[in-house]
Amino acid sequence: MNVFLAAGIVLVVTGAAIAVMLFVRRTAPDGSYFNDGDRASGVFGVLATGFSVLLGFIVFLAFTSYDTARAGAEAEALVLAQQVETAQFFPAPVAEELTGELICYGRSVAGPQWELMQSGKLGDAINPWGAAMFLTFQTIEPETASQEAAYGKWLDQTSAREAARTDRIHGAVGVIPGPLWLVLFAISAIIFAYMLFFADSGEGKLVQAMLMGSVAAVITMMLLLLQFLDDPFRDGFGGLKPVAMERTLDIIDQQLAVVGNDAPLPCDDRGFAS
């Protein structure tokens, strides 16, 4: 959902709420439907407090998931760069294979796999280059102290990369369960209905429109914010992008060019096997 669509939804919902309020106002008694305004305001305060507490909890939950996905993407890119450096300590043929597979892994993450997350179709699919690296790594027989150290370091870095990948894809499935959405929309509808009883033919139309419009706009914007945080991998304003991985791939290309490593890669620019 882009920012213009979200703004349009807010305007439509707010306009509809104001129109209903003004329609009810035409037949409303002078002073609203409530005989005791203070008591009515107290009940509305209970509704608003319950909604705000629940909303605050869910916003915290959704933002935590959003931030975890962002941090996971950055950590995965960092570990990938570190593994490229570690791979250089292995024997020449294996070092070249692992380097190429690591680059292909990064291209796959920044390309087709990121697109699958945006469309919600990633599911349980693995990165094929992760499996390829595992098979290549099995062929290594450390012969020197530096190779043995690199061997153990690679295992640690692989675990860290897989954990970071898990954090990244965790946010792609959404963390707000359906029942919470139902409760939020139900409370929103109750607040809207309750606001109609504040319709007052003795007040001006502008005041009544502001009364209903402000509440409808705020609730709508908060629900849209939750929907955004619950789906961070979106193509549009504020969505998470593979910036960290793309930056890491650029740095790796520059480093390999400096050391004169121009071995052919087993994939194309998007990470598909060539």
Which of the pair, 258 or 208, is modelled with greater confidence? 208
- pTM, to two decimals: 0.80
pLDDT, tens only, 141-155: 888 899 899 999 999
Q: What is the pLDDT of residues 190-229, one digit of tens each?
A: 999 988 888 888 888 898 899 899 999 999 999 998 888 8
Beta strands in the chain (DSSP E): none
Tens of pLDDT, residue by residue over 120-176, are 777 667 788 998 999 999 888 888 899 899 999 999 999 999 999 988 887 666 778
**Across all residues in the chain, what is the average pLDDT?**
87
Q: What is the pLDDT of residue 239?
A: 80
Contact, 69 vs 232, CB < 8 A? Answer: yes
CB atoms within 10 A of CB 23: 12
Residue 172 tokens read as: 């792609």
Residue corresponding to tokens 């060019």: 257
Summarised one tens digit per residue, pLDDT across range 91-102 is 888 888 999 999
